[in-house]
Structure 1
Amino acid sequence: MTRSSSASLGPRRSHALGACSTCRRRHVRCDQKRPSCRSCRTLGLRCEGFPGKVRWMRSSGDGENDAEDTHHGTRRHLYTERSRLSMTNSLGADLVSGSIDASLAEIDLRSRDPTRSSEDEIIVGPFSVLDFTSSQSSGDCVSARPAAQEVNQESPVAPMPLAAPIPPGSTDVGNTSTSGPAFSMLDSQEIMDDFLRWSDILGFSPEQLGPSLQPPFDVDLGGYGDSWDLTSENAFRSGALVLAGCNQDAFQGLVSTHDAMGAGSEQLDIMADVPFLLKHFQDIVVPQMVAMPLGQKSPWKMLNIPGALATFGDLTILEAQDINLARLANLYAVMACSATHLALNPSTSLERSVYHWQNVAAQAFEEAKDHMKMSLKNETEEPKKTKYKDQLMALCALIEYAVISGQQTYARCFLVDAERLLRLRGLSKHRISQKARLLHHVYTWLRIVGESTYVLHDYSPSSSFLESLDSNFRLRRPGGNVAATSEWNTRLDDFLRLESRNPDCDLNIDEPKDRETGFYDIHLQDSRSFPETLYKQIYGIPETWLSLVSQTTRLANVMESFCIAQRSCKGINVEAWETLHRRSMLLENMICSLSLGRSRGGRIEDTDTSTATRHMFQALSAALVIFFYRRIRQVHPVVLGGEVNKVISSLNQFNTALPHEKLTGPGTAWPAFIAGCEAITEPQREDIMQWLNEADSKCGFAAFRTAKDVMTELWRKQDQHLATGRGEPVPTWIDITRQAQSWPMLC
């Protein structure tokens, strides 16, 4: 069926004149209800009124009509009726036999006459022919055609010209200065009226930045993390979403990777590459970006790829006109991930150049970002409410793209938007579907593992933090049912909140937690085991490991804020510190038990787990021990040498087991980074760097390059410190990343 025939079967789109100025600017339908249209009222926008109607002649008559005409524009005929009638008769007289069809047939006949001179014009009545043959000789035309054909045969795909190509995800820890075009993440008109201040979730406070450092992004979003409520129905429309409304002035000076890659490049027909990109994403990218090469229940293969295929079919085969924006964002985000991988690994596609895939990735990402922004603003609630899983699926794909390409600003924005969407639409459901749970697991992994290496918070104690200290932790989380926890479900979690759970029953990982707690504990603040968890099926690891990472990160942030409060405030409750110290001891016992394989909730069974998975989990467990003693105890790196050797040995055994089980790897960079930053001896450093180089050569993801850059700079400073024998603490990866304002995204 042709496009014209299929289009004729569908209903014709009606265009109503007289829309309000706001709907005209947004290019949406307007119901023309006065004084403000229903479309603007539904989206919470200010209706800018209706423009004056155009009339052919000003009304003449009574004063009432004259007063009404003052509000309308008028249009006067340029020619009189007599002049227009004369022109009509003159044009009709020049037609062949007085017929338009006969005149067009005459033009066609004269243009086909081989004896006609190229200088003769063909004019029949009001019609004429535009002829280019007079501008060049016939000999030039004959000689030019074979040359063009020869060029096409030699180079079917011309490379896109780029002055200075920048590979996606390139990082430079030593140089944080930025220049170039402004960071134009979002250009929405309905952005926040006043600048949101949320430095503890996204961005950095001005006090943290040194005078010589330019911030990678300067989004100060203040202290809403403890108290901001998402229950308002206008939460998405009021500009609260980071993605749906960012102040452009806040992003001046940032060079986006794709701003540099796409500079000067023309728009490509990226739809032609969709089949190849989707297949490449499923066969190559997905196995390489998961933590472990397991793949029993991959949300990417079960949700994102089928959704992208269905959307592509609707666009091309079915020519559907009502595809929701969230599905389009997922399609373009998956394409961007796949094209970025091809640009980072040129050997995987010899038919196209690196420049081509860089431009495809840049263009696809811009499309995905714009569609996601509009979906969060317009499709979150009625009248165009889309499926929750479509929006969260697209956001997870955008987060993964930002992690793969190493764009920390976008990754942070998408993560915060995903949590807001999850709390507003996901946790408010009475029943969470299996597909939604899969997406929740993906978000939890990305957020917790990403948060573990994010140390750029503003750790200054908030008012609620100090209030909790003064009340001796009497602010406790409500118990068990969904109704009681609804208040907590609607508040964003910044991993800085101070809570008390005496007698710390949530750290007893050998006890099970109920279904409601397991389904709604998206950040795994409760470390007890959950029988219905899906982390083993998705990532090959027990939920206990991920919950202990979350607990350690949260406790480290709280203790750092406590130390700042202790130095700046008087009368800090000593019992509060004792409570934190007791909790750190319980957490230490749980982590060491997990590393020794003596905790029931954190075991990896030999019967249903591959050898490679067991070795990677051993590396993750040993790295978790290192992570705890670095963030909580802050010990000297020499003390952690034994755990570093365990990580190195497990990672090498993991690589050895990959080819025997026909797996690609390379696995997650998290254990290599955590252990490598505590490596003091040269053999340890060489082994860690060799493993990272091999992993980088397999996939080229930004995480491995970032890990190598941070460790190289850290080792240099550690060697200088140990050589001078100064009394200051040994430099750590926390110091390096804070100085460089860098976020190692190892998720």
Structure 2
Amino acid sequence: MDDPLRLAEATDTSTSRTRSFGGCGTCRARHIKCDETRPTCTTCEVYNLVCDGYHRRIFFDEEDDGKARYRQVLFTDEEREQMNGLMTKEVPFRRAIAVLTGIENECEAAESSAEIDIFRGPFGAFKLVTKELADQEVIHIPRTTSPFPDFANPESFQLPDWLETSSLFADYETQVSPMESPGPAQDYQLAAHRQGTDANSILNLSDTSILQDASLLLKHYANNYIPSLTPFRHTKTPWHILFLPNAKNTLASIAIGEQVDAANLTIFFGTLSISAQNLHHHTSGQKWSTHANDLKERAQENARIVLNHALDRPKRFKYKSIIMAMLTMAQTSMTDGSWDQIDHYLLEAEKIIRLRGLPKPSKSRKLRLLHHCYSYMRIFHESVSFSSTRLNLQRTIRDAVEKSGVIVRGTDPSSFRLIPWEDLDEKFREIKTREQGENDLLLAGPGKWPATMYPEIFGVPETWLNLLSQVIRLANEKETAESADEPTLSLKDFLRRAKALETYILRWEYSNNLVTTSSGLQIMEVDWIMLETMQSALHHALAIYFYRRIHDVDPVVLQPKVQKVKEYLFACKQICESGGGFLDGWMWPAFIAGCEALDPTLQEAFTAWFEFSSRHTKKGH
């Protein structure tokens, strides 16, 4: 005998069905199931019927009869694809904020009595003719609607006439605009306890000017600035994992009135300053530049507190927060070209890393991400900056490390000086231990480290960065020998090392094995053409850098390689124009090759490329 409960379940299953409202006109009129195949359905073909196609249907409720109403898709898939294509063609995704800001600036500049009718692609601003709420006028939408726009024709993409006189948006002008001009510097009331007192900073929230613009700036930082720092489009970068969440958490703490320490405030204000400075380069006017300077001043004020107490016992600030604060300040200084400040923050970060970071017996993934970001930034900066104040700062770091008595296995020297090696090829074939890989902060020792994160973060093999580090170190030895009475490196050793580096650089080939990273993360959206173009440009630029700094050869000899770098740069320009985005990794080869260009035509080409990059890069400088 059958179970009644099972019979009831079987009955419910047999009678249940799914309802679809996307069928063709013929099937819907015949009340049969349509397979919704386009342009004509298969059901009509089987029954030899004329398929009525798929039409837009709009239901207008005249009275509430208690019957259910269903929503119809107004446009076909093809029409929606055409609409999306038109919108992205008119305004690329990464330029949307700049376009909106430009519209906002034009509206602010217009007189209050002037008519406003501004359109930039799919975005626009116009002045509504509103009516008093007491009129309670109801807008009736006619049954016979106007023809839908042809999304393949931009001229037909217009607002319907009835919207321009609608009272649906009567209270729109009373809302606070997210693009509102930032308040003056004195609006930010920041009272910090100086050295000798508590190391926390207190933020006075008597006004909300910070909160009004912080959301916009953080969104711009995430969507427009971070993509320039890495060629990968995943959300596992250090900026997605560490910097951006920290800034958001700080904003949330400020919003609810919690006390925030100076390290987190440094990261927060520095991040907002970077975003505002970047936004200034995409818009007209000076308001975002002024805002960026105000935010940077507040970040610097908190950074001084952090540095005064970074090595205190007991610890006042978390180690990761301190390093993030110093890296943020270095990045902030890069956006406005303050080179001496970059030196200061990077070298202070190095001192803290060597005294608090490298001695840690176990380094987490987040910690190693921060150390990789520091090393990448420091090596590139060391290759192009020749500040006279750096030597004194480096001596201070060395003395502080030596006096502390901290001994770390596998650590590199605290300045860019050579370490002994005989056979460079053999040295590069060696596999570094975990201690060597984690503690060789500035890549003083050649070798391979399987757990390296440089390819995963920046798309650059560690071998290439190691070669650049070796060239910088050998060049420093050469300069020391030229200025000192007794050189630290004999001429024979110098020529031997120079020959080994030259051979390895010319024969070096970048690795394409970047899909599976050390963390096991599968990077699915990498633009391999863009990545290979960038690495090829870096390779030729490294050769130019080697010959100029080590052998000081005549630039005439280097013109073929300069021309090669130019070709790769203009190839990346085409990629950028097609929506691939602009990368920070192209700036170094452009600078190195552009400095050596002799032909006026070649110089003009580099000038044009830098002008192009300043318009399209997510960074300001």
Q: TM-score range by the shorter chain?
A: 0.5 to 0.7
2:507 paired residue number: 593
> Do 1:160 and 1:356's aligned partners in 2 also have CA atoms closer than 8 Å?
no
1:603 aligns with 2:511: yes
The match for 2:534 among 591, 594, 616 is: 616
- Write the mapping of 1:62-73 to structure 2, written as runs, cut at 5 A: none
Match of 2:224 in 1: 284
TM-score, structure 1 length as denominator? Answer: 0.51
Instruction: Give unmatched runs, 5+ long, in structure 2.
Output: 1-172, 186-191, 200-206, 396-404, 516-522
- In structure 2, what is the equivalent of residue 320 of structure 1? 258
1:663 equivalenced with 2:577 (yes/no): no
1:156 and 1:678 map into 2 onto residues whose CA distance is 43
Letter in 1 for 2:512: I
Residue 401 of structure 1 corresponds to: 332
The one-letter amino acid paired with 1:338 is S
Specify which of 640, 644, 648 is matched with residue 562 of structure 2: 644
> What CA distance in whole angstroms lies between the structure 2 residues aligned with 1:387 and 1:331?
15
1:537 paired residue number: 456
TM-score by length of 2: 0.61
Give the residue type in structure 1 aligned to 2:473. R
SS at match of 1:669: helix
- Secondary structure, counterpart of 1:512 in structure 2: coil
Counterpart residue identity of residue 278, structure 1: L
Asked whether the equivalents of residues 504 and 583 of structure 1 are also in contact (C-alpha less than 8 Å), the reply is no
Gaps (5+ residues) in structure 1?
A: 1-149, 163-185, 191-236, 238-266, 348-353, 465-481, 704-747
Residues 679 and 685 in structure 1, CA contact (< 8 A), matched pair in contact too = yes
Over 6 Å off, 4+ runs: 150-156, 158-162, 186-190, 458-461
Q: CA deviation at 1:294?
A: 5.3
Shift in Å at residue 401 of structure 1? 0.8
Tell me: CA distance 1:372–1:500, structure 2 relative to 1, closer, same or farther (3 Å).
Answer: closer
Whether the aligned pair in 1 keeps the contact of 2:537 and 2:589 (CA below 8 Å) is: yes
1:585 maps to amino acid: K
On the 8 A contact 1:295/1:539 being kept in 2, the answer is no
Match of 1:454 among 372, 378, 385: 385
The alpha-carbon deviation at position 696 of structure 1 amounts to: 0.9
* Secondary structure in structure 1 of the residue aligned to 2:540: helix
Paired residue total: 416
Cα deviations by residue, 1:387-446 (Å, 9 ceiling, x for unpaired): 211111111111111111111122111111111111111111001110011011110111
Following superposition, the deviation at residue 293 of structure 1 comes to 5.5
Please give the residue correspondences for 1:181-580 in structure 2 after superposition, counting only pairs within 5 Å. Answer: 269-288=209-228, 290=229, 292=231, 297-317=236-256, 319-321=257-259, 323-346=260-283, 354-378=285-309, 380-457=311-388, 485=408, 492-493=414-415, 495=416, 497=417, 499-504=418-423, 508-565=427-484, 568=485, 576-580=490-494
Q: Is the alpha carbon distance of 1:339 and 1:369 closer, same or farther for their aligned partners in structure 2, counting shifts above 3 Å? A: same
Contact 1:619 1:647 in 2 (8 A): yes
Tell me the CA shift for residue 531 of structure 1.
0.8
- CA shift in 2, pair 1:157/1:328, >3 Å: closer
CA positional deviation for 1:616: 0.6
- Residue in structure 1 matched with residue 29 of structure 2 by the alignment: none
Opposite residue 579 of structure 1, the aligned amino acid is D
Match of 1:740? Answer: none
Distance 1:500 1:667, change over 3 A: closer
Q: Secondary structure at the match of 1:623?
A: helix
Percent identical pairs in the alignment equals 31
The answer for the alignment partner of 1:712 in structure 2 is none
State the distance in 1 between where 2:483 and 2:330 align. 32
Contact 1:623 / 1:674 at 8 angstroms: preserved in 2? yes
Following the alignment from structure 2 to structure 1, what is the Cα–Cα distance between the partners of residues 582 and 408? 42
Flag the 1:483–1:417 CA change in 2: closer, same or farther, 3 A: closer
The separation in 2 between residues aligned to 1:460 and 1:606, in whole angstroms, is 37
How far apart in 1 are the matches of 2:427 and 2:221?
40
Partner Cα separation in structure 1 for residue 557 and residue 234 of structure 2: 36
1: CA distance, partners of 2:603 / 2:178: 46
**CA distance 1:504–1:460, shift in 2 (3 Å):** farther
CA contact (8 A) 2:182 2:291 kept: no
Higher relative contact order (CA 8 A, sep 6+): 1
Does the 8 Å contact 1:388/1:425 carry over to 2?
A: yes
Hey, what's the Cα distance between the residues in 2 that align with 1:299 and 1:414? 19
1:493-515 CA-partner distances (Å, limit 9, x unpaired): 2x2x3x44142558732332211
Q: In 2, distance between residues paired with 1:274 and 1:155?
A: 10
Tell me which residue corresponds to 1:632: 550
